[in-house]
Amino acid sequence: MNKMNSKVKELAKMIDHSILHPTLTDEDLRRECEVAKKYDVASVCVKPYAVKQAVELLKGSDVLVGCVIGFPAGNSAIEVKVFETEQACLDGAVEIDMVINIGKALQGDWEYITREIKSVTDVCHKHNTIVKVIFETDFITQTEDKIKLCEICTDAGADFVKTSTGFGFVKQPDGSYNYTGATLEDLKLMRKHSGINVQVKAAGGVRTLEDLLNVKETGATRSGATATIQMLEAASEKFGNG
């Protein structure tokens, strides 16, 4: 993958390689950062304690380091999210993926949500860091709520709206838990109702080259992924290496 054609490289630069599972160790972090470097993706998305290590591991590459905030349930107080964001930026993160307070959104407390998103966005921009705001669309299911969140993010100056964490597990009829993650319908809705300066990121359930191409078709410019190798190897086969 040292030599990629422009189409494959364009797809690689859509990918935020996710290194977020609770069980991942430092050795897993090293391995996945090597994957990110090899395939020259847009960024890695790591847990807060791992930012410094990821920055060191990716030194000399074009892969950016992103960090999740209030992950995955979004329940931290605003002040804690602000502090966590500040620390991540100081540790070297240049992209922040924050989870909103889901309960506050579901009850329609838009003043709280506005204050939360604006507070984190302002800290990010102070550090020349971009912010992606995660709605968690497995929980925020009403169209009007998603539209309202897009409008709030636009007014707050957020850089991205993002569908999901990939950990929004919902109890299924058989008693098991699973999630849907990004849907093309949600991505189109978010693109339509977000300002021109706000980009859209898919996350959760994007596992194949076809998924990634479909995401791109909606106007989304980033996608979280753990299946990075499979998707980009498939892209290389489809579009060629030269």
Q: Catalytic site residue 81?
A: no
Q: Which among 97, 138, 145, 159 is annotated as catalytic?
A: 97
CA distances from 53 to 11, 15, 47, 57, 136 (A): 26, 20, 11, 6, 27
Q: Which among 81, 132, 148, 162 is annotated as catalytic?
A: 162
Q: Which among 132, 148, 201, 211 is annotated as catalytic?
A: 201
Q: Catalytic site residue 26?
A: no
Q: Catalytic site residue 162?
A: yes
DSSP the chain: --S--HHHHHHHTTEEEEE--TT--HHHHHHHHHHHHHHT-SEEEE-GGGHHHHHHHTTTSS-EEEEEESTTT--S-HHHHHHHHHHHHHHT-SEEEEEP-HHHHHTT-HHHHHHHHHHHHHHHHHTT-EEEEE--TTT---HHHHHHHHHHHHHHT-SEEE---S---EE-TTS-EE-----HHHHHHHHHHS-TT-EEEE-SS--SHHHHHHHHHTT--EEEES-HHHHHHHHHHHH---
Residues belonging to the active site: 97, 162, 201
